[in-house]
Amino acid sequence: MFSSISSWILSIAGVISISVIVELILPEGSLNKYIRSIFSFVVVLVIIAPLPGLVGKNFDFSQISIEEEYTLQEDYLFQLNVYKTEALQTQLANDIEQAGYENVKVSVSCENYSTNFTITAIYVELQNLVILDKAEHTNIIDIEEEILSLIRSRVDVEKGRVHFER
């Protein structure tokens, strides 16, 4: 494919070079005008010569690869959503720690290949929960409700998508 393109470009350059040399050699006059128009016509023919070959053949569009662009775009979406997920997990863990609860692990699950950042579930692990003095509640059910309200203040997520593991 590239060899045919390079030979086509070389033939265009060759015809133009010959026409310039002939124009320099010939004297001014009506003959020069006719020869210039003939070479212009030849240049146009050389330029459009490959077009009938392309149209006449059964051009195979499967040779044109667009899949790589989609793969790159999917990789970009995946990585972008991973970054958003990690940032959200960090923010939620900081909010919970500011409320007076330490050693709470927050895991956010989302649709990684979606253009919209859609959260499918949030998991909150309370196995190693440490309640600090500044915490409002000591009852686990009240703590879960407070953590749920902290999560819902940061993210618009349904109550059923937040899961607590004790």
86: exposed, middle or buried (Cβ count in 10 Å: 0-12, 13-18, 19+): exposed
Q: Which of 45, 64, 83 is the last residue of a domain?
A: 64
What DSSP string runs through 1-62? -HHHHHHHHHHHHHHHHHHHHHHHHSPSSHHHHHHHHHHHHHHHHHHHTHHHHHHHS---GG
The reply to whether 99 and 132 lie within a common domain is yes
The reply to whether 52 and 117 lie within a common domain is no
Q: What is the reported pTM?
A: 0.55
Q: Which of 64, 86, 101 is the last residue of a domain?
A: 64
Q: Name the H helices within 49-163.
A: 50-56, 67-98, 140-154
Q: Would you say residue 32 has pLDDT above 80?
A: no
Q: Would you say residue 20 has pLDDT above 90?
A: no
Whole-number Å distance between alpha carbons of 136 and 142: 9
Instruction: Annotate 111-125 with b (16+ C-beta within 10 A) or e (fewer).
Output: ebeeeebebeebebe
Q: Find how far residue 152's CA is from the centre of its chain.
A: 30
The reply to whether 14 and 86 lie within a common domain is no
For β-strands 119-125 and 162-165, DSSP reports them as parallel
pLDDT tens by residue, 47-81: 887 776 666 655 555 555 555 555 557 788 888 88
- Per cent of the chain over pLDDT 90 is 31
pLDDT tens by residue, 119-146: 899 999 999 999 988 888 888 999 999 9
CATH of the domain at 110: 3.30.70.1350
Q: Would you say residue 83 has pLDDT above 80?
A: yes
Expressed as residue numbers, the domain containing 38 is: 2-64
What contacts 46, CB < 8 A, 6 or more positions away?
A: 8, 11, 12, 15
The reply to whether 76 and 60 lie within a common domain is no
The reply to whether 31 and 96 lie within a common domain is no
